Amino acid sequence: MNIEELRERMPLYIIGALPQEQMLAISRVLADDPALIAEMRLALMLRQEMEANLPEPPPLPRAIYAQEERPTLMPAAARRSIQQLQQAAGLTRATLRLVGNWI
């Protein structure tokens, strides 16, 4: 792991999100490099600073639940469609019967 790669992984190292092997490798390099330790200190301070006093997020937008708040719309539409299909089927049956009688 070169210094550039180590720098890129430093934020993940701080939160312990790297595989154990990489955590150990970075710890070894840091132990011998005061400049990198200073960088890690800065990274830690940045993390603390940026996470401090962050407001709680507002709730999800209500529009996401809009469909759920109108649950009767779909069944009503479906019921109407079924009724229309039944009426059409009844008409077709009656027509076929008439044609059959006529023949």
CB closer to another protein out of 3 and 31: 3
CB closer to another protein out of 63 and 99: 63
Helix axes 20-31, 3-14, angle to 10 degrees: 110
CB closer to another protein out of 17 and 85: 17
Token pair 């005061």 is at which residue? 34
Q: Round to whole Å and give the CA distance between 2 and 7.
A: 9
Give the x-and-dash track for 27-66 against another protein (CB under 8 A): -----------xx--xx-xxx-xxx--xxxxx-xx-xxx-
Checking 5-9 for CB contacts under 8 A at 24+ apart, the result is 6/36, 7/39
* Contact footprint for another protein (CB under 8 A): 8, 11-12, 14-15, 17, 38-39, 42-43, 45-47, 49-51, 54-58, 60-61, 63-65, 67-68
